[in-house]
Amino acid sequence: MKEFSGRVALVTGSTSGIGEATARRLISLGAQVMVNSSSSVEAGQALAAELGENAAYFQADVSSEAACKALVAATVEIFGGLNILVNNAGFTAVIPHEDLDAVSEEVFRRIMDVNVFGTWYLSRAAVPALEASGAGNIVNITSIAGLRPVGSSIPYSVSKAALNHMTRLMANVLGPKVRVNAVAPGLVETPWTESWDVLHAVVAERSPMGRSATSEDCAEAVIAILRNTYQTGDIAVIDGGLTLG
């Protein structure tokens, strides 16, 4: 028996980056995992097939409440329950903070719809199954952009600040049956940021750890939270000490 054998996890946005690393880590520890994406269907199906019989794939855009309900229902139907929800799916746009006019209503709403409403819809839909498990966990992937005036755009940072506070609010009302925590990374090496050479160089210079985070660093933070049965309402900053200064 592996550490997480018998536990079912749903990881959104899990066809690349932090979500994929988290899904792989959970599988390695014995969990059953529902892989999800909004559009990368072939990648999702391929990953689930690679992960083996303990994985499945379900396409859903978390900005749709109906899709969130269907995603939770499919997870429970396929695996028989739900113990862990990792809200990783997210959206952003790179817009200089000083260029207020460049922030269109369409972009702002899309960021909020995916990052905030998506987390809200899916968490609310998952709570009954998580409570029924007896020891449910929600882990939200947020950002240091929700704690400091940094980030790829103002709307993105606002959405992550909202998620940080949502984490605390939900932790306050869902315990002891469900713990709610967040992982707030700094800059992470993912397919999305692979062309951000200048920013990665700045982080390498300023961070005590001398580099940006990897997706695996963030996945390990998720696992650490799942292991600590007394931890709830916490925003775990994973930035290599970047925000110490």
Identify the active-site residue in 57, 121, 156, 230.
Answer: 156
- Backbone φ and ψ for 70, nearest 5 degrees, come out as -65, -40
- Measured N-to-C along each axis, helices 118-133 and 154-174 cross at an angle, to the nearest 10 degrees, of 20
Is 156 catalytic? The answer is yes
Listing DSSP states for the chain in one string gives --TTTT-EEEESS-SSHHHHHHHHHHHHTT-EEEEEESS-HHHHHHHHHHH-TTEEEEE--TTSHHHHHHHHHHHHHHHS---EEEE---------TT-GGG--HHHHHHHHIIIIIHHHHHHHHHHHHHHHHSSEEEEEE--GGGTSS-SS-HHHHHHHHHHHHHHHHHHHHHTTTEEEEEEEESSEESGGGTT-HHHHHHHHHHSTTSS-EEHHHHHHHHHHHHH-TT--S-EEEESTTGGG-
Can you tell me the distance from the alpha carbon of 26 to that of 50, in angstroms, rounded to the nearest whole number?
A: 14
Catalytic residues: 156
